Amino acid sequence: MLTEHIGQLDLVDERHLPPRQVHERDLDWLRSADLVVAEVSTPSLGVGYELGRAVEMGKPILCLYRKQEDKLLSGMISGSPGIVTEIYEGLEGAKESVGRFIATRKKKKEERLKSC
């Protein structure tokens, strides 16, 4: 998951945190998120779990998948109606996808507000 905490140097090394605390902290981040962006090129139970929870919370979700030969993204992710999946190449490609996703969400939000 991309959070504003990524790259933050003063973050506690989470291997020393009890799992329940890791879980609650990550769930709080999810609940407070306007949208969710996940990098899904590597199989991960934790990322999959957070995606499942985020879908049930109704969060807008973008999954970024790096082009790879002979590897298929899980059908549970690419087939989820609650998830937009985009294949990208390189950091610039990922940034463009995220930018487009945010712009589309903003536009939709403005349209909803106008119609109120």
| CB nearer to a second copy: pick between 72 and 91 | 72
Q: Interface with a second copy by CB under 8 A: which residues?
A: 14-15, 17-24, 26, 40, 42-57, 72-81
Q: For the chain, give the number of residues.
A: 116
* Positive or negative torsion for Cα 77, 78, 83, 89: positive
Which H helix or E strand runs over 102? helix 90-114
Q: How far is the CB of 107 from a second copy (least distance, A)?
A: 25
| Cα–Cα distance, 29 to 102 (Å, whole number) | 18
Q: How far is the CB of 35 from a second copy (least distance, A)?
A: 17
Q: How far is the CB of 46 from a second copy (least distance, A)?
A: 4
